[in-house]
Amino acid sequence: MTNNKYIATPTRTKEILNKYKFTFKKSLGQNFLIDSNVLENIIAHAGIDKQAGAIEIGPGIGALTEQLAIHADKVVAFEIDQRLIPVLQDTLGDYDNVQIVNEDILEADVAETIAANFPKTQPVHVVANLPYYITTPILLKLLHEDLPVTSLTVMIQKEVAERMAAGPNNKSYGSLTIAVQYYTEAAVVMDVPKQVFMPQPNVDSSILRLVKRDKPPVEVDNEKYFFALIKASFAQRRKTLRNNLTSYFKGTIDKDAINQTLESVGIDGTRRGESLDMQEFATLANAFYRLG
């Protein structure tokens, strides 16, 4: 059911934009949601209830923030655009469980913010409509920092969501897939048409749900090395694994040693990176790492 007082309607959004003479900044990838049914779906998929805390990134004029405030115990939202702070103070004035932080999420100490705002035992979920141009850096920052969050439910560009949730032998599968799935279980839970945004983006969106793993599904000797080797294996997708690794190790490990290592772990060097699953990459990375 749509409540006409909710921020996420075309009329109410236009009213707010006109009141503050707000103009969209293309450089910040601002697209505001104007459909509260979509927002309710996001909340449901994110598993938000009154026991949970929520971290939001890029609240805009507060459409999703409002729904989080209604359903969660407390919401902390990071907004980079200084112009939106007074707007949010106005639109969310009725909710005393929302805190707005005027900071760039990429610069912020998110772990410290969580520690300061939520009890240790409280489940905290990241829920966000992320700007397309910066989706990957934001998600990788949040995952690499190993924050005490239960899940991340994010609205992102459809093809990026598919990439993060892909399996081997799929054209969407790549180094980003493995980086995300090393830390989380990933699933695309819903597609969202461009018509529910103002202004309309050029691409369709999907809601991606990432549930944090207790521990990675594979054991690696050195995480940084593991991710670097995966990146190298996909450097030129059409090349074989052997060719990509030969380019990567040029001047440090010779061809014979590369062939011997591939043989020792039972991985055919004529395969392409996209055919290897995460366990095979872990085995390969550990073998080369021990080779020194």
- Give per-residue pLDDT as tens, 59-73: 999 999 999 999 999
In the CATH scheme, what architecture does the domain 10-212 have?
A: 3-Layer(aba) Sandwich (3.40)
The rounded distance, in Å, linking the Cα atoms of 6 and 13 is 9
> For residue 64, what are the contacts with CB-CB under 8 A and spacing of at least 6?
8, 33, 39, 42, 56, 127, 128, 129
Is 142 among the annotated ligand-binding positions?
Answer: no
Is 146 among the annotated ligand-binding positions?
Answer: no
CA-wise closest residue to 92 among 76, 69, 72, 73: 69
> For residue 149, what are the contacts with CB-CB under 8 A and spacing of at least 6?
55, 114, 124, 125, 126, 142, 212
Is 169 among the annotated ligand-binding positions?
Answer: no
Q: What is the mean pLDDT of residues 251-278?
A: 96
Q: What is the mean pLDDT of residues 118-143?
A: 94
Higher per-residue confidence, 256 vs 5: 256
Is 28 among the annotated ligand-binding positions?
Answer: no
Q: What is the mean pLDDT of residues 101-108?
A: 96
Percent of the chain clearing pLDDT 70 (strictly above): 97
pLDDT at position 22 over 90: no
Is 4 among the annotated ligand-binding positions?
Answer: no
Whole-number pLDDT of residue 4: 53
Is 96 among the annotated ligand-binding positions?
Answer: no
Whole-number pLDDT of residue 27: 66
Whole-number pLDDT of residue 24: 73
pLDDT at position 179 over 60: yes
Contact 183, 245 (CB under 8 A): no
Q: What is the mean pLDDT of residues 220-239?
A: 96
Q: What is the mean pLDDT of residues 147-155?
A: 97
Amino acid, single-letter form, for residue 207: I
pLDDT at position 1 over 60: no
Whole-number pLDDT of residue 23: 81
- Kindly indicate the confidence band of residue 205, based on its pLDDT and cuts at 50, 70 and 90: very high
Q: What is the mean pLDDT of residues 234-245?
A: 96
Contact 196, 38 (CB under 8 A): yes
Q: What is the total residue count of the chain?
A: 292
Q: What is the mean pLDDT of residues 260-275?
A: 97
Higher per-residue confidence, 203 vs 162: 162
Question: pTM for the whole thing?
Answer: 0.92
Annotated domain spans of the chain: 10-212, 223-291
Q: What is the mean pLDDT of residues 132-148?
A: 93
Find the range with the poorest average confidence among 5-19, 25-39, 73-87, 194-208. 25-39
CATH number of 223-291: 1.10.8.100
Whole-number pLDDT of residue 20: 86
Q: What is the mean pLDDT of residues 161-188?
A: 96
Q: What is the mean pLDDT of residues 127-147?
A: 93
